[in-house]
Each structure stands twice: as structure tokens, then as C-alpha cells.
Structure 1
Amino acid sequence: MALEQLLDRLKMEHLQASLDSLCEHASKQDLNYREFLEQALLQEWGGRHQKGLESRLKQARLPWIKTLEQFDFSFQPSIDHKIVRELAGLGFVERSENVVLLGPPGVGKTHLAVALAVKAAEAGHRVLFMTLDRL
């Protein structure tokens, strides 16, 4: 059975797409079999992880993609950095707890909610964004 058929049957589409460049890289770097296999499987895992993340973000129905790194804490000094860092650790997800962000319009609640949703999606969790009105 040909290598391409095996990769197809094993559903390793990401490895299949980059196999030639991986082989060339392995040859140039003089990788042993174990190192090459590690690189090949890492390529497949990375592609699957990225595809899963994109799927989770699409299903989340986020109004936009924002990260915590993009949040301007100097714009809203009343927000406690320590609490945001703790929330970014996603412990509340593991404990099945809710997080409610309250405040007047324009203070960054939606940005923080979206950023936490992105962080959770990156960690492999399914998320759904919904405004209070829609809920």
C-alpha cells in the first residue's frame, strides 16, 4: 500500500499536505527516524488542533476575536489585573462556575468576555457567546 493511501486511510490530512517539505527538512537536518516521526506527528497534531480551534471559535458565535493581550488595562484602571489573570487560568471552567461581568457601557466587558472565550476555545473547551438580551 502506498504511503499516500495509508495517510488517507488514517485521516492524516495535515501530514499528507506537508510530507514532502517534512522529508526535505529531515534530510537537511539529518534527523533520525524517531526525530522525524516526532516532527511528522507534531505536524499532524498541530493541524488538527488549529482546525479544532477554528471550528470552536466559529461555533462560539463571537462578535469578533479579541485577546486578553489586546485589552488596554490603562483605559480601565478599575479592573483588577489579578482577577483577570485568575480567570484566564480557566479554573472557573473546570469548577463549572459562571462569570458575570457587570458595569456601564464602554468599559470593556464584551472584550474581556470574548477574550476569555477565545482562551477557553484554545484550551479545547466549547464556548458560546450570548448577550443577556438574547439569553
Structure 2
Amino acid sequence: MSDMLDRIRGALVGLKMPRALEALDHTLQQLEKGEVTAIEAIDTLLSEEYATRETRRIDVALRTAKLLPAKTLESFDFSFQPSLDRERIAALAQLDFIRRAEVVHFLGPP
């Protein structure tokens, strides 16, 4: 059994599956306790690895895109644009006009 686990660990390293390698021991414990079936254990290992890779892929894509940080109303400098009514903007942000089926028009230069 130990030789087989060593081969599995070696295969996970060779396949560059670090998250599956980390989850292997816990998943094997669940399998031994009968908490999961063999197919569920395989699914768990592959799902963990896939989620990690997908998260990493998205992080790299966002860094590569060099997108500006997200802006929020809380961080908006209303003193820079004194003609804006902070309370009115906050009320619009609640989106109550949608529930009331009202139309909102924004006028002015972009």
C-alpha cells in the first residue's frame, strides 16, 4: 500500500497537480472511513486541482489585462464634483426606482 501511495504522489508531482497532492491524505482518510466512494474521492481530487488552476488562470488573466482597480461609491470623491448630490446618488444606488418601475435619465457631459 505504501509503495502505491508513493507512486500516486510521484504521479501527482509529475503531472504538476500540487493541490490534488495536498488533498490526497484527507481524501484517503475519508475513503478509509467509508465517508466517500472511490469515484467521489477521485472527483474530489480532480475538482480541487481544477478549482485551483482556474483561480490561478483568472488571476493571471486579470494581472495581464492590467485592469484598473474597481471603483465604488464609498470611495468616490464627491468634493471633486461638488454639483453631485451625495444623498441623491446614494438613493439611486439603492435601485428602488426599478421596483417602482420608474425611468431614470442621466443628463450632462460624460
Identify the TM-score tier after normalising by the shorter chain.
0.5 to 0.7
Alignment equivalent of 2:7, drawn from 2, 5, 23: 2
Alignment equivalent of 2:37, drawn from 32, 35, 38: 32
For each residue in 1:29-85, what CA deviation from the matched residue of structure 2 results, as whole angstroms up to 9, or x when unmatched? Answer: 621111111111111111110110111111110111469xxxx89249448xxxxxx
Q: Corresponding residue for 2:62?
A: 57
Could you tell me how far apart the structure 2 residues matched to 1:41 and 1:73 are? 46
Cα distance, 1:73–1:57 mapped onto 2, change above 3 Å: farther
Cα distance, 1:61–1:39 mapped onto 2, change above 3 Å: same
Q: Give 1:5-84 correspondences, 5 Å limit.
A: 5-28=10-33, 30-65=35-70, 74-75=92-93, 77-78=104-105
SS in 1 for 2:21: helix
Q: Corresponding residue for 1:120?
A: none
Q: What is the TM-score when the length of structure 1 is the normalising length?
A: 0.46
**Unmatched tracts of structure 2, length 5 or more:** 1-5, 73-89, 96-103
Larger Rg: 2
Cα distance, 1:50–1:25 mapped onto 2, change above 3 Å: farther
Identity of aligned residues (%): 22
Cα distance, 1:49–1:78 mapped onto 2, change above 3 Å: farther
List structure 1 segments (4+ residues) > 6 angstroms apart after TM superposition.
none
**Larger deviation, residues 32-41 vs 15-24:** 15-24
**Unmatched tracts of structure 1, length 5 or more:** 80-102, 105-135
SS in 2 for 1:11: coil
What is the RMSD of the two structures over their aligned residues, measured on CA atoms? 3.1
Question: What is the number of equivalent residue pairs in this alignment?
Answer: 77
Q: Corresponding residue for 2:80?
A: none
